[in-house]
Amino acid sequence: MTLDQLRVFVEVAERGHVTRAAEALRMSQSAASAAIAALEDLYQIRLFDRVGRGIHLTEPGRIFLREARAVLDRASMARSVLQDLAGCPPGPIALAASQTIATYWLPRRLAAFHAANPRVRLDVVIRNTREVETAVADGEVRMGLVEGPTQHPALVRTHLDHDQMVLVVAADRAPLPIGASGKLDLRALSWVIREPGSGTRRGLEDWVGQQGLSLEELNIFLVLPANEAVREAVEAGVGATIISRHVVASAIAAGTLVEIPIELPQREFALVRHRERHATLTQKALVAHLSGVVA
């Protein structure tokens, strides 16, 4: 078994397609197929099922995928250590960021980092908070930027900034429902919220819990996978939402959304890394830059 065979296996497993995996690895389809066949023949086990033109992991393949990723991650860490020791030019940094951070908080900070480190390439993927955590824990990326608390025990956090959540409705809304206590009736509102796993949804969930309620008790009209889609739906008048001020600041300024003055807690923007993975000098420089930049 070789590292090249493991790389082919992981690439095919993640893409579900031999040709696309071969293209990503810059090798021929026949070479990629041969690498998979060699692994299967060597251990007399089927790693993939071939169904028509598709290819799908078998149960042994799914188990082996975790181990193959771990081996490749260790090899990458070893290479990073040697590059640091040899003073080699820095390689690319792969990071994942939650939607709010990636869209509104991160770009100008990365631009400033690039100006100081023009040889460093940054590869950024955008996921929701839980998906970012998983990508860091699994070694898909070296670091992640998330909103709110971290759940995965293998991750360590570095505080970056705070974010203010706000409750907004359309400017031409109907009068807000007020309960017998004189407070806003959260159950009577129609809600537009983010999907499970997002930091924005978690912020709403936590705040509603502080009011003695759960999401299941709210009138949730619409669940959407993107902040901008939530903002557009609320502007269209379909309900209320609790979301980062970064997302709705321009709409509030333009008068299409109105912020309802209620006290909402701040949440944390944080950088997460795997506690057992080596951080290169370049990665440490990026962490220092992001944690030291004043908003």
What residue segments make up the domains of the chain, in order of their start?
3-75, 93-161+268-292, 163-265
Which amino acid is located at 203 in the chain? G
Handedness of CA 212, 218, 224, 229 (dihedral sign): negative
Domain covering 163-265: architecture: 3-Layer(aba) Sandwich (3.40)
Closest CA to 201 of 233, 226, 179, 183: 226
Whether the pTM exceeds 0.75: the reply is: no
pLDDT digit of tens for each residue in the chain (295 aa)? 888 888 898 888 888 888 888 888 888 988 988 988 898 888 898 888 887 767 888 888 888 888 888 887 777 767 766 665 656 556 678 999 999 999 999 999 999 998 988 888 899 999 999 999 999 998 889 899 999 888 888 999 999 999 999 999 999 887 888 877 778 899 999 999 999 999 999 999 999 999 999 999 999 999 999 999 999 999 999 999 999 999 999 999 999 999 999 989 899 999 999 988 877 788 888 999 998 844 3
* pLDDT value at residue 95: 93
* pLDDT value at residue 295: 39
Residue pair 143/284 in contact (Cβ under 8 Å)? The answer is: no
Exposure string for 60-73, b = 16+ CB within 10 A, e = fewer = ebeebbeebbeebb
CA–CA separation, 290 vs 146, rounded Å? 13
* pLDDT value at residue 180: 76
Domain covering 3-75: architecture: Orthogonal Bundle (1.10)
Domain 93-161+268-292 and domain 163-265, same fold? Reply is yes
Kind plus residue range of the DSSP H or E element containing 198: none
Domain covering 93-161+268-292: architecture: 3-Layer(aba) Sandwich (3.40)
Closest CA to 7 of 57, 80, 72, 62: 72
Handedness of CA 148, 149, 152, 157 (dihedral sign): positive
Kind plus residue range of the DSSP H or E element containing 175: none
* pLDDT value at residue 98: 95
